[in-house]
Amino acid sequence: MSVLDELGLPPLPEALPRPVVDNHTHLTSTAEYSGLQVADNLALAAGVGVTRLIEVGCDVESARFAVELAGADPQVRAAVALHPNDVARTFLKAGESRLEADLAVIEELCADPGVVAVGETGLDYFRTREAEGRRAQEVAFRRHVQWAKRLGKTLMIHDRDAHDDILRVLDDEGVPERFVMHCFSGDADFAHRCLERGGWLSFPGVVTFGSAEALREAALATPLDRILVETDAPYLTPKPQRGKANAPYLLPHTVRFLAELLDVDLAEFCDQVTANTFAAYGGRWGDA
């Protein structure tokens, strides 16, 4: 019995014809959520053509793990930040001094050579409703933007129900040389506004959902050289496995869907996604 059968996880999809990069995933959360351990997760992903990935740390503990894993495995690079919802929770429950202490740790981790992005940082108005929590999110977001610019690293942005304020903060602080709209959730108009500022748009499995017509219109409005693909595992599992636990090995479902939507040869699209990811994060890595 395979590890997927043992854990009741979706089967392996058909392998992609060319390697791609999952530019946003959470291996530690996947292990906690589904039981799929990191080593198995990486091996399964590589077996279907997802040969590189970015492990995203959203709090001090997971950020430290991301940095350690990137230092140990050439298949992996790291992104580190305090997630906006973690910012709000820490501020509201533990106070400003604790939040500042956590931010200081993240700032130090951002300088590690295995870290290719400062993120995911941004604003989340869906889960954080309190005005004080939202103000803390913005303060922390501005801090992360400043670190990305100072360190010359990509800014990875989390944006949920906060489109206008995300762009306001970016314009106020000055847009970094490279930024990625993680788990892009806007329509074609918002896509254009992000693209005008030089961003890359990262599409999750949501683009495969029947209800996501506006997101598909955004993908169609995005130049091929500005498209990235992600799992955000263990969440947002693409069709035909929607509702089950996600993992990087399921990324081929989203890649195939987008190639068909955009009417691009699958192998060419894989190569384009890989090239885009290297451009978005400032260079290639690994020999996979």
Query: Tens digits of per-residue pLDDT, 177-198?
Result: 999 999 999 999 999 999 999 9
In terms of Cα–Cα distance, which of 201, 229, 223, 237 is closest to 23? 229
Average pLDDT over residues 145-168: 98
pTM higher than the cut 0.85: yes
Angle between helix 251-261 and helix 213-220 axes, rounded to 10 deg: 70
Are 11 and 217 in contact by the 8 Å Cβ rule? The answer is no
Q: Which residues lie across from 117 on neighbouring strands?
A: 79, 154
Could you give the dihedral angle defined by the CA atoms of residues 33, 34, 35 and 39, in that order, rounded to the nearest 10 degrees?
A: -100
Residue 98: CB atoms within 10 Å: 12
pLDDT band at 286 (very low <50, low <70, confident <90, very high): low
Measured between alpha carbons, how far is 201 from 186 in angstroms, rounded to an integer?
10
Which residue type occupies 31? A
Q: What is the pLDDT of residue 284?
A: 76
Are 226 and 192 in contact by the 8 Å Cβ rule? The answer is no
Average pLDDT over residues 57-71: 98
Q: Is pLDDT above 70 for 287? A: no
CA angle 221, 223, 227 (to 5 degrees): 100
Write the pLDDT tens digit of every residue in 14-30. Answer: 999 999 999 999 999 99
Q: What's the 3-state SS for 59-94?
A: CHHHHHHHHHHHHHCCCEEEEECCCHHHHHHHHHHH
Q: What is the pLDDT of residue 70?
A: 97
Are 109 and 64 in contact by the 8 Å Cβ rule? The answer is yes
Average pLDDT over the chain, rounded to an integer? 97
Measured between alpha carbons, how far is 153 from 145 in angstroms, rounded to an integer?
10
Q: Is pLDDT above 90 for 103? A: yes
In terms of Cα–Cα distance, which of 87, 195, 210, 188 is closest to 137? 87
Judging by DSSP bridges, how do beta strands 179-181 and 154-160 pair with one another?
Answer: parallel
Q: Is pLDDT above 70 for 288? A: no
pLDDT band at 285 (very low <50, low <70, confident <90, very high): confident
pLDDT band at 283 (very low <50, low <70, confident <90, very high): confident
Contacts of 80 (CB under 8 A, 6+ apart): 56, 57, 63, 66, 67, 106, 109, 110, 112, 115, 117, 118, 119
Q: What is the pLDDT of residue 87?
A: 98
In terms of Cα–Cα distance, which of 269, 66, 38, 40 is closest to 156? 66
Write the pLDDT tens digit of every residue in 134-150. Answer: 999 999 999 999 999 99
Domains recognised in the chain with CATH numbers: 20-280 (3.20.20.140)
Q: Is pLDDT above 70 for 102? A: yes
